[in-house]
Every structure is written in C-alpha cells, then in structure tokens.
Structure 1
C-alpha cells in the first residue's frame, strides 16, 4: 500500500489473489464492486501484471469513495475465492498529498481523464470590497448546476449534473477543488490532431444562475492518445507541447512504473527526450530497467516489451497560472524477432560434440532434446552418456551447453571420399516452452564433425608358441580389408590355416601359431630363430595396400622343423633321446653321409637342405607327398667321412605337402608349393616286424657334393611371392 504523488496504489501477489482478483470500494454508505466500467467512471484503474506476478490497483485522490477529511482515506476489500468460498481482506490507508496542488491539474490515466481546478476565483477588476471574493462554486443542490459540453463539430444541449452522472461523468467538490472525470470515448468527447499527435478532448462548462449572477467554470481535459511506435531499439511516445496554453516550453519529467527520473539520470538510463515540431518525444530503450519482457511463439520465437510510462508535463500561461498534466500510459512494442543463438564448439581432439544454445529468454524453458530422432527429457538422466549444462546470465537470459561423444552409437557416421574423412553427424531438435503456458517452440540445429581417418594398426604380442594380434575397432574400420598376403582374413581362412580368430563388434583377436601359413623365418640357429608375420591393410574398394602391421619375434625352441614353400627342410633336433646313456656322438650326417649339420652343440644339431637332396625319399599318397630323411649319429671314434657303418642311432625327419598345392614335384632343381609343408621329427624305435605302408616309395640316389653342408637362404618367402610359372622355350633357344 503506497501513497504516491496524485494517487494511492495497492499491489498484491497474484499467487494470493488467483488469476481473477476482485476489489470492492468501501465508504460509509456501503461497498461497491469495482468493475471495468465502474473503475473508469469513479477514478480507479486495475492492471494485471502477469509478468511480475502482481495485480495493481490505482485510486485517484478524488475517486468516488475516498473519504475527504484532513487527508484522503481509502478503504478497499480484496476478495479471493478458494474451492468456491470467498475470503475478504480489508486494505485501508490514509494519504496526504505529498505535493502542493497547482491551479489546474489533469490526469490522463489508462482508462479515464480527470481534471481538477481551484474552486475560488480571483478578484474582479474594479469591484468593491463586498464583492471581492465569491463563495465556493458549488451548491449542495446539484439541480442548481448544469453542464454543457462544447464540441467543434456539433451544438450539444446542457444537462444537469444528475443526468451527467448517469451518462458516466462525475463532477465533485473536494478540498476546495472542482473535479471533473470522464472515461475515454464518451459521446461528448472529440478527437483531433495537434502537431500530428492524436488527442482526445472533453470540454465541459459548468454553470449556475443565481439571481442576476451566472457563474461558469471551464473544465477541459485533453490527453495525448499516441500509442507509441518502435524504432531502432526504442519505444517512441509523443505528446503535443501546447495541449494547454504556455508562455514558453513546457517542463517535462518522466520515468517508469510511477517513478519520475531525475534529469541527470535520464541519459544514464538511456532515455531520450526531444522536442520536434512543437511535439515532445520520449524514447525508451527496449531493455530499459523497469520494462517488462514477454516471449511469444508464432511461426518463430518472438518477444514484446511493455512499459508503464509515467510523465509529468508543466506549463505556465500568461497569467502565470500553472497547469500540470500527469500521464499514465502502457506502451507495448510490436512483436520482435527473438532468435536463439546456436554455436558449434565441438573439439574433435577431445572426441566430443559441444553445442552451445544461447540467448534463451528467462521465460523460455528447455523441456526436451531430440538427437538424431531419439528424444531425451530435460534434465537428462544419469544413465546416458550425454550432458546438458545450464548457465544463467546477468542480462536475465540463460544458455545450455550440450555434449555428446563423437563415437556414441546415436551419432551418424559416414565416410566422405570427397573430404577423405569420416563425417560424424548429429541433428538436434530442441523443444522449448514459453512460461506461463505450454505452447512449444522447436529449434533445430545440425552439426558435422570431420575426422581424418587412417588405417588401423594392431597391438602385437610375442608368445612362446606364436604371435598374437589385437585390434580395438574404431567406428570407421569397416573401410578396410585385412589380408594375409593377398588372401582376405576371414573365419574360414583362419580355420584353414590353423589360426585362432575372435571377431566381434568391439575388437579382433588373432593368434598365429608358429609354422603356420604366412610366417617368414631368418637367422635360424641352435639358439632359436626370428619369425616374422604380417597383416596387410587394404582399401576395400581398390585393394591397394595402405599399411601393414609386421611383427618379428625371437623364438627359443629346442627342437623344430621347417618345411618351406621353395623345397627346403630346416630342422633343429636334440638327439639325446636316441643315444645310449653316457655316450656322446662324434659325427652327424643324413642318409647321404656327406650332408652334415650346419651347427652342432653337444647332442643338438641344425640341418638345412633341399628336399630333393641328401638321399631323401619321397612317399606319394592319395592327397599328399612326403619327403623323408634320417639323421645319423656315430659314437665310434673311428667314424670317418664317407663311411657309414650300420648304427641304430638315428632319427627320421620328414616334410609333407598337399599334392593340390604343388606346382613342381620331381624337378631336380625346382620346387614350388602354395603352402609350407608339415614337418615331423620321428625318433628311431627298433621293432621286430616291418611296418607296411600303402604309399609308393621312390628313393633319390645320394649325390656327392663338393660342400659338406648346404647353404640356407636368409629367408623363406611364401609361394605367392616367389612363384615361377613354367616357361616353354622356343626351338633354337
């Protein structure tokens, strides 16, 4: 409850009153419901300020039911309804005018005009002392007084004050002032333009004939009806400089919400006041403190601003009589576009989409987010991998930052040949609600992150029995093919070659045992050898080799046998198993006793020789061929080169190849196979019966060589890389 310059104000929270608050005016004669029509007639205005959550009642000091004593006493009832039951709350206050009254004051309220003038007339020039002062221009009998309305467009007949009251006009005498009040748009009012500004005018003349004296009082209410206009961020409102006679320019002070701003603060607050062509123009910045903003959804998100302008205009006429106008005007901007601000702040290096949604008005709330067609309510639950952070700003807006992992399954991933990159796409649809209410507004935004793609590289581990390869799949690894040589790595290929393969959506595991297809060996010695295995990465469409993962491991096997694709057998064997206890060999050789080991360490020997040499035998079966030789060891100190006495101390070594993979079989100088052979080391076991074999045996005669040992090539490439096709020589060549 507040006493202001020329009115009394009540502001009540809408949460307490409900959406439809009701007021009653109370005086000694009873209670009177303040309806819309009754408010305009009796000097009340009621405004629902939903943006502030308030209802505001303003009552003129000269309103109908104000009790006029030493001050102005107001009594009202606030009526609220809960579950059909009315509750009454008394709101009472007595005010005194904080400012002295000017000879004439005019109030231009939002729903009525009111003018009050001093009720004593000055002395007539040349009159006697007895008639120097006239009594108050009011009689208890309203029938004595009449009123006529002057209109430039028609002649209106006079009426008494009782008739005028029935027509909605109020005439009163309060605190030595004659008061006239009228709602806007009455039949006796007229509209005109003054310096281009629309003005509504009511010109009432109150008169009384008493004997031979006629007393007349002019009551003119003139108010600017400019509704305001919006221009370049300012709400512009104007009023004529000369609504009432003035010797010079009028004095202007103004503000918002019933508060006048000191002249020094006008510029500081961004207000503008200009005089142009006898018109006073007021400019209010759209974001001025004291204004109210409201969002609105049409085809897009819009906003409008509401300003409760309060203005005082003072003019002085040629008799130095002061006229003060008080304006209450509600100014509303047109619908203005209120676009949201969306910024892609994605950091590819961090692997996260980051989308900033800014300039969200304070009365707009984000309720859900749709990601590539899948909707998530706000706030997000803790069970999902996405985050949404809200930040409130000093300008009363707020913003949201959405983060989604680039490799999340909800993200669409496509390979772009044009960009040679993987494109990660996220379509976002924000659903926002303007409060109060539930009308949705949809804001869409699409973001694409470009990630350079590179062929993968396997993690590799050497084991005692082979090499293990592991690949953690990336989302774009479907672009490549993995091959062993030229053969695509598949579960079928792995099974055929004896690999162990595990492949799911997360990773690929491949265990490659020693002596299986694809190995290359070098630096073979009694202490071990180096085994190398490669997995090639090829472009799925062109089959071009893009990169490879190659691993070389040192294997320390005490015994092993290698059967290469180019027809060599390499074997390291420990012969202690076939030696009598306590004996040591003095010499080692194959079936051809000139074929001796490349290296010897006690009972361990290394032989490497072509399959078609050193007395090897060949056994043909239905589907494969076996090359077999024997390692002999002599324990006699008299053993000499070239003499091979019978000895039971021997061990059989053999390599078996599938016939379907052989390209050259019995050529003396050539051997070619698609696959490595399968080798075996067979210790000699004496038996009393001969063992029958269904295979056909062919013996290769021992061949004397100049060198007691055969050279081992540094590596044994697979047949696919060294295959030599038959060449038919032309005659004469």
Structure 2
C-alpha cells in the first residue's frame, strides 16, 4: 500500500461535479457541512496545480501549511482519481467561530492559478452539526488525532491507581493555571503549562461546553502499541488545575488504529481496528460500527448491496470491501504491461458505551488501496473464412484506456481510420466499465500477406496486428500483439492468386 504512488499519478484528472459558490466560477468548488467537519473541494482542472488555503479570523490570516494543518485541525488531500483537492476542517479547528458548540463559521482564502493567473478567492460557510455531541468524541484524521469531552464533571464508577498517582502530582503543583501531564506506559511526564505544550504541537481549547485536545501523529508523548494484533497510536493527556485544596482533573485520550490495510487473493480489501483501543475508551456494554466512503456513511442495506462486510473476531472489527465495489476509484497504469489499482477513501465510525453508560464516538478517515493488479487485454479471432475478411476483437479494455493506432503487418494506421480506408474499426461498450474494438480487414487488402499453399490447394492469408493503446489522461502507451491466419476455398484462392501474379 504505497500511497505516495497513488497520489503521484493523474494529477490533472478533470472530472468534478459542478457546485456554485459566490465569487467562484461554476464547476470548480464544492463546499459541504458534514456531521463533524466542514469539507471544501477544488477541482484540479480549475486550479491548474495544487491550490493553497489560508484560515482567516478576526486576528489575522494563517497559511495552512502541512505542520499547521496537523496542529490546528485541518487536512488537505490531493485526490487525483476524483479530480480535486479536498480540505477538511474540524468544527473545533483553530480559527473557526464557535457559537455554543452549535453554530460554526469558517472563513478561508483560496489561492489558485486560474487561467494562468494567480487569483485569491474569499470563501465562507456556516455549519451546524446534524447530530448532538456525545460525551466523548475522538477523530482520527489522516494527519492528526483529536478528542473532545463534555466539560461537565462526572464521577466514574472505577478509579484506577494511575488516576490517583496523577492526582498526587497535580495536588503538589503550586500553580492554579491549567497544566498538562502526559502518561505513557506507567510513566508520567513533568507537568507543563498549556502555552508550553502548544510550542510542542499540542493544542488545547475550552469551548462553551467541551474540552478539546488535538495532536499530530508521531509526537514524542504519543506511543505505538498493539491491541489484539492491530497497531494503534495512542496519546494520553491529563489536564488539571488546582484551586486551593480542590484539584480539577480531566483525562483526554486519543487512540487510532494505524492498520494500513491488506488485500487478499479473493479480491477483497481488508482493514482492522480493535473494538476497544484503550481502557478509557472501553466498549464493555456495546459497540456499534458504521461504515462509509468519501466522508459519508452508508445505510446498512446499501453497504450490504455493495458487498461491504463488517465482522468482529476476538475483539477486533474487520471491514472487507470488494476491490471493484461502488464507492471506490479505479486507475490504470503501465509498467511494461497494463495494471490497475483501486482506491477507497474509508470513513469509519465506532460508537462505544462503557459501564457508566458514557458514549464515545470515534470517527476515522483513511485512504487505502490495492497493490498493482494485472489487467490483461485479449484478442479473439472472429474471422469467418467464407466472408473473406479478417474480424478480430480486442477486449477487456478499461474505461481510462483508448486505442490510438494499429500496425497491420508493419503498416501504421491511426485511429479512427480515414473514410477511404478499406479497414474498419468499431468500438463496443460494455456495462462493466470496459470496452472493446472490432477490427475488420479484407483478405485481398494490400497489407495482408498472401501465400498459395499447393498442399491445401488454398490461399493462405496472414495478418500481424500490433495495437497501440494509451492510458488517459497521461497518454502513457502500451502495446498488444496478435497474429491471425485464414485461408480461402480453392476456386476463389486460385482466382485471387492469378490476379496477384498479373499485378
């Protein structure tokens, strides 16, 4: 699963559905409010190259660089098979105007090369979540982890020794400001204030009703482990504030499956996540799994109709999707022969309920792909000798591949053929996203090799065909060779033979 390869091809695919926005030409921008994030997509055909984004609020303008995006709750992905660049912004992203955790307003600048000129467009969108916030929510984005918890204080039924150790450390602190302490494998970091933590890439925010913690992947205070054989990245932050003899302490845990996906010989892509990623994200009473693609969940009957399978084995949730199922994207490529790969933009939700009936909602975005799969085209000789014409079918040609030329016994003919040509080529479209070509060449055409066989008392006809096909939009060529032979009956062969001798 080499995603660098996936994102490195076809950067100028141009199929993007139109969605109108003030100040932006038709067909180049799409903005949507989703359950837990805002999404904006810009067509590659519009921008000419990867566009750039800036977040805007009353304090200024902030370029969304790779590092800044991971810290502030933004993700920018080039999706060449869909023909656009996608920006996703958490509802708790740094520069979002938040009203009571119910109304979120986003303001962005889009910089793009439009018609050969650098242009800046001002964009804004106001969103309201369609679902109420759960007591605890975890987001596993492609570049960061985010957890938010309801800021109301509750008393859990089970208190562990590690919790009391954290309380002791917090109570010995001499400051009343909020501080954070990271815990990893029975080790605790030295408490630090939030401004110092922010310098190391950690972001904490207190909204009207929620406490938010966000971190890029691979931070020094996060750690990798295995849960039921599945790799998991985890970060455990304890936030506390001492007021006189009272200590207010909140555990913030983000845990995300880092399974890269696999592919089996039966044509299924598979992805795994533990049912319970961490004791503080326990699902002892109930675990519900919802699956989706491209950022939207599917109704269960729709998922089943597409062949999506969700199974639970030994504390692990396993998702299997046929590589050619609806919702994915297919691409041809050439490495000597013709290959293909399939890409899915997975969107997964786990709803966990612990022994205190506290609900945790975990959402995960991942892009995963098959390895390169051979996709051979084939030829079928459909020639009927009595018709005195070669008829050869070239089949199983993918939608993103077209026939550019054919060489007939070394003579090149571009497609489509000229009206004066005696050859004919017809495209045949199939409902399974493939097509084919039927080539017809008369036996007596000058390009056909003729040889009279005294043994068979018949004229033998030979045609070597070299097809030149190209993968779109790169115009990357590959070749397919076929050789066919036929023979005519005695009388007609002799007549043809004498004609050839005379000329």
Q: What RMSD in Å do the two structures reach over aligned CA positions?
A: 2.1
Q: How far did residue 84 of structure 1 move?
A: 6.6
2:135 corresponds to 1:98? no
Change (3 A) 1:426 1:456: closer
Map 1:158-557 onto structure 2 (within 5 A).
158-231=191-264, 232-243=266-277, 244-416=281-453, 421-454=458-491, 473-475=495-497, 504-505=502-503
CA drift of 1:397 comes to 1.9
SS of equivalent residue, structure 1 residue 79: strand
C-alpha distance 416-238 of structure 1, shift in aligned 2 (>3 A)? farther
Give the TM-score normalised by structure 2. 0.85
Contact 1:143 1:162 in 2 (8 A): no
Offset at residue 328 of structure 1 (A): 0.7
For 1:554-584, what per-residue CA distance to the aligned partner results, in whole angstroms no more than 9, with x for missing partners?
xxxxxxxxxxxxxxxxxxxxxxxxxxxxxxx
Task: Give 3-state SS (helix, strand or coil) of 1:250's partner.
Answer: strand
Count residues in correspondence: 450
Where structure 2 has 5 or more consecutive residues not aligned to the other structure, the ranges are 1-30, 158-174
Matched, 1:150 2:183: yes
CA displacement at 1:123 relative to structure 2: 6.3
Q: Distance between the aligned counterparts of 1:379 and 1:281, measured in 2?
A: 48
Shift in alpha-carbon separation, 1:403–1:177, aligned structure 2, 3 A:
same
Deviating 4+ runs (over 6 angstroms): none
Q: For residues 382 and 245 of structure 1, do their structure 2 counterparts lie closer, same or farther at Cα, with a shift above 3 Å needed?
A: same
Q: CA deviation at 1:122?
A: 2.6
Cα distance change on mapping 1:258 and 1:456 into 2, 3 Å: closer
Is contact 1:407–1:475 with CA below 8 Å preserved after alignment? Answer: no
SS of the aligned residue for 1:403 comes to strand
> Mapping of 1:41-120 within 5 angstroms?
41-70=71-100, 71-82=103-114, 85-120=117-152
Partner Cα distance (1:121, 1:267) in 2? 41
Q: Which runs of 5+ in 1 are unaligned?
A: 126-141, 458-472, 479-502, 506-733
2:156–2:356 Cα contact (<8 Å) kept: no
Contact 1:428-1:444 within 8 A present in 2 as well:
yes
Contact kept in structure 2, 1:143 and 1:161, CA below 8 Å: no
Distance, in Å, in 2 between the alignment partners of 1:366 and 1:157 is 66
Relative distance call for 1:194 and 1:474 in structure 2 (3 A) is same
Q: How far apart are residue 454 of structure 1 and its match?
A: 4.1
Tell me the equivalent position of 2:13: none
- Alpha-carbon separation, structure 1, partners of 2:400 and 2:331: 7
Q: How far has the Cα of 1:396 moved from its partner?
A: 2.3
C-alpha distance in structure 2 between counterparts of 1:27 and 1:177, whole Å: 21
Alignment match of 1:11 (pick from 25, 32, 41): 41
TM superposition shift of 1:179: 0.6
1:585 matched residue in structure 2 = none
Q: Larger deviation: 446-455 or 436-445?
A: 446-455
Whether the 8 Å contact between 1:143 and 1:160 is mirrored in structure 2 is no
Give the structure with the higher percent helix.
2
Q: If the length of structure 1 is used for normalisation, what is the TM-score?
A: 0.59
